[in-house]
Amino acid sequence: MRSAIAVTRPERKPPARWRDGWWSAARRIPSPNFGPRPEGTAVTLVVLHSISLPPGEYGGDAVERLFTNRLDWDAHPYFGSIRGVEVSAHFFLRRGGELMQFVSCDARAWHAGASHWRGSDNCNDFSIGIELEGLEGGSFEPAQYRQLARLLRALARRYPLRDAAGHEHVAPDRKHDPGPAFDWAGLRKALRGSALRLPQPA
């Protein structure tokens, strides 16, 4: 006699795919803060950042609002210090591993500012920016590292990436994120077999 309870199998998600620089594994939230890359420029670098708004507070929508020019500058005293800035990153990776994409990777996001890497200035021209929800100098969550490794592998299959570095490495006089608690060694281990070069421990 068959059971009256229907047995359902877990729904299989289709494999993540790229379309016009957008990755289907990320929630798409288009930002107006982007521009074209210089003609003929290869995407060879990933720049990792950390961000939380207000600093040290997680889980709200302030970062999403900042990257889409919808942040209420009067909603928190800290926001007044960044009033009017127009910035973006390609990706924002939350503490629990949720991934959002704001700019097509084929386009130039506004994340690195004045920067330099391996003989070239203006890293925004040839890089992909990934913001990790966190505090500069603070630790990050295992779910973030897992999702980051997955994203980096997908990016390396799509673009001619050579390096991943922190904002602190491309703008050392201005920036210090993601900071000393970021686990570069663990990320290197998670990316074992990848040709992507990561910073060596200090």
Domain 29-190 is found in CATH 3.40.80.10 = yes
Given its phi and psi angles, is residue 153 left (phi above 0), alpha (psi -120 to 50 degrees) or beta?
alpha
Q: Does the structure show a pLDDT above 50 at 102?
A: yes
Tens digits of per-residue pLDDT, 158-169?
Answer: 999 999 999 999
| Separation of alpha carbons 177 and 135, rounded Å | 8
Distances from the Cα of 144 to the Cαs of 96, 148, 183, in angstroms? 7, 6, 11
Pairing of the two strands 99-101 and 27-28: parallel
Annotation marks residue 39 as catalytic: no
In terms of phi and psi (left: phi > 0; alpha: psi -120 to 50; beta: otherwise), the region of 93 is: beta
Amino acid making up residue 157 = R
Q: What's the pLDDT at 44?
A: 98
Give the other-Cβ count within 10 Å of 148's Cβ.
Answer: 23
The pLDDT tens digits of the residues spanning 20-35 come to 999 999 999 999 999 9
The reported pLDDT for the residue numbered 3 is 42
Any idea what the Cα angle at residue 83 is, between residues 100 and 107, rounded to 5°? 40
Token code pair at residue 159: 């673009």
* Percentage of the chain exceeding pLDDT 70: 93
CA distance 139 to 132: 11
- What is the pLDDT, as a whole number, of residue 202? 62
Q: What is the mean pLDDT of the chain?
A: 94
Residue 4: pLDDT band with limits 50, 70, 90? very low
Residues 106-119 pLDDT 10s = 999 999 999 999 99
pTM of the model: 0.93
Q: Is the pLDDT confidence value at 10 over 90?
A: no
Does 16 have pLDDT greater than 90? no
pLDDT of 7 > 90? The answer is no
Considering the candidates 64, 98, 131, 133, report the single residue annotated as catalytic: 131
- Looking at residue 14, its pLDDT comes to 75
